[in-house]
């Protein structure tokens, strides 16, 4: 029964796709989660460093605003 309630909570449109379900919140609704990262996994991550982003992923353009007069 609890699994059905959790499934409904997580899939019935309570949040938008970008709502972060934090570890604390996941625990509070009954999910079994851990925020501990095994050392072996951290070692693996250190082998593949991610570049620091210096450029925005979305570029702002006021082209439409200029064409429509700001509407």
pLDDT at residue 65 tops 70: no
For residues 71 and 67, give the distance between their C-alpha atoms in angstroms, rounded to a whole number: 9
The residue extents of the domains of the chain are 1-48
Q: What tens digit of pLDDT does each residue of 2-35 get?
A: 999 999 999 998 888 888 999 999 999 999 999 9
Stated pTM of the model: 0.51
**Tokens 């501990």 map to which residue?**
36
Name the H helices within 2-71: 2-11, 23-28, 39-46, 63-68
8 Å CB contact between 37 and 27: no
For residues 59 and 16, give the distance between their C-alpha atoms in angstroms, rounded to a whole number: 23
Per the model's pLDDT, the better-predicted residue between 55 and 49 turns out to be: 49
Percentage, residues of the chain above pLDDT 70: 87
């Amino acid at each position: 029964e609890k699994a059905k309630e959790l499934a409904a909570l997580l899939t019935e449109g309570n949040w938008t796709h970008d709502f972060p379900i934090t570890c604390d919140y996941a625990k509070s609704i009954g999910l079994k989660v851990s925020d501990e990262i095994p050392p072996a996994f951290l070692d693996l991550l250190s082998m593949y460093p991610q570049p620091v982003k210096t450029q925005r992923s979305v570029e702002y353009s006021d082209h439409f605003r200029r064409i429509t007069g700001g509407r």
